[in-house]
Structure 1
Amino acid sequence: MNLLAGLLATIVAAAPVAAQQTNKTELTPAQSTAATELLLQALKERQAAVIHSNLAESVRSSIDVATIQKRLDSRKAILSTKVIGVTPGYRTTTVDAVVSTADGEKPILLMLDDDGKLLAWKWAGQIEGLEATALDFVKDLAAGRWVVARSKLSLDMQSELAPGDLERKWTKLQKVSGGFRQVKDAVIANQGGEQQLVLVAVEFMNTTSNLFVIFDGSGRIINVDISEEFV
């Protein structure tokens, strides 16, 4: 357990720390609410073009309108939406909202950048088992689903890594490992507490490596480490 704790400390220490940012966002609560209501209305009316135009540039450049529309069309109809909380932070604002469907209310969390554009998001309460989440994350990387993979990261990590950053890291890793072959399995190495570790065995052409996927206490990915090449 001491060895694991040391490993976790080493890996997590290398992660960017959002709290070190010193510039408070200039976006007002009223502006944040208006930006979120626009996004939620577009979500309700399945207006992919509106959502796409209101994504932060780093996210918008990695996904097209057609892909967004396909996802919107596959979701259940939204009856109503409501913003329930706005929390300004350093260079970003976190907004809590609720959407209502025929199945009931569903909470959603959104992070906006200084311009009121959507930087990160997650559906609250939809956290799968750690192994399943880690496996899905790596499979998303292997399939080039950068935006989907990024959505499994913690909001702080999403704010530090654009979809293009994940693409660059994964592409570099494939080059030095001889190309991706398959995701083999995942094993929980540490569960419970503020830091949790899952090892995902990934088979490349030249080697099979264990990808260390670090989760926070709520099941969101806060760091990923596999080798010196994954930087």
Structure 2
Amino acid sequence: MKLSAALLALSLTAPIGLSTTAATPAQAQAATTQLSPAQATKVSQQLLEALRQRQASVLHQTLTDSVRSSITIEQVQKRLDQRTAISNSRVVGVSPGYRTTTVDAVVTTATGEETLLIVLDDDGKLLAWKWTDQVQAIETTALAFVKDLTEGRWLMARSKLSLDLQQDLAPADLQRKWTKLNKVSGGFRKIKDAVIASQGGDQQLVLVAVEFGKATSNLFVIFDDRGRIINVDISRDFV
């Protein structure tokens, strides 16, 4: 399943180049994830235990359908085996957002404490997780793109898009859509981090967690196999 179709199936986002109407604040608030902080904490604790025991099959089963179809159990196991063994873990923060929840966790290893970012969908399924000390090339590009948006560098942000996408989006389009999202979401506070949900295929997905006044929203940045941004999805409730 292609990521664009997967995103549509998840009803998480709509391409910013196609959406033209803005929701009222009341409509936007209604789009907040239905997953409660208590539920998110419970799911995350189960995921952390699976990480501690390096149970790739358990983690693979908890992935959203779209992500699970793009990664094998063996790939998950390889990723788990690359990390130092975990002796303990705890959830330190839960940030409900618009159709997603971002969870901050801390794990204890032989080398000390390490931080982990977990992103869950409406049903408590795992969209992605990331050790925050690791940053890969497409994550760097996604973070730079969103940073340009937050600082009003519309032309610079647009330059990071593929040529085809640039034809659909003028700098003024990016300005209008980001301004609407920022206003409805209670004002930009900070970029938390970026995490890869799918990698290595003809479409690669990076989630950028952005903290606003009212919620933490995960922006979906889609890359092609050469690392070029071919789509950026923001929830249809905002733009």
TM-score norm. by structure 2 comes to: 0.51
8 A contact 1:119–1:159 mirrored in 2: no
2:200 is equivalent to residue 154 of structure 1: no
Please point out which of 97, 100, 104 is paired with 2:108.
100
Cα deviation for residue 83 of structure 1 reads 0.2
Partner of 2:120: 112
Question: Take 1:27 and 1:131, find their aligned partners in 2: how far apart are those partners?
Answer: 29
Q: 1:25 to 1:102 in 2, by over 3 A?
A: same
Alignment correspondent of 1:59: 67
Task: Report deviation, 1:150.
Answer: 3.3
Q: Does residue 68 of structure 1 match 2:122?
A: no
After superposition, the C-alpha distances for 1:55-111 in whole angstroms (9 at most, x for unaligned) are 111111101111111221222111111100111111111111011111111111111
Name the CA distance, whole Å, in 2 between partners of 1:55 and 1:131.
21
Contact 2:97 2:218 in 1 (8 A): no
Alpha carbons of 1:55 and 1:15: their partners in 2 closer, same or farther (altered >3 Å)? farther
- Higher RCO (C-alpha under 8 Å, 6+ residues apart): 2
Distance 1:57 1:35 in 2: 16
Asked if 2 retains the 8 angstrom alpha-carbon contact of 1:93 and 1:111, the reply is: yes
Aligned partners of 2:82 and 2:204: how far apart in 1?
19
Distance in 1 of aligned mates of 2:110 and 2:18: 40
Distance in 1 between residues matched to 2:82 and 2:67, nearest whole Å? 21
Larger-Rg structure: 1
| TM-score when normalising by structure 1 | 0.53
Question: Identity over the aligned pairs, expressed in percent?
Answer: 46
1:31 partnered with 2:39: yes
1:171-210 aligned at under 5 Å gives the runs none
The AA in structure 1 aligned to 2:131 is: W
Q: What are the equivalent positions in structure 2 for 1:155-170 lying under 5 Å apart?
A: 155=209, 160=220, 169-170=224-225
- 1:132/1:32 CA distance change after superposition, 3 Å: closer
Structure 1 residues 14 and 54: alpha-carbon distance in aligned structure 2, compared to 1, 3 A threshold:
same
Say whether the 8 Å CA contact 2:35–2:124 is kept in structure 1. yes
Mark the runs of 5 or more structure 2 residues left unpaired by the alignment. 1-15, 142-198, 211-216, 232-239
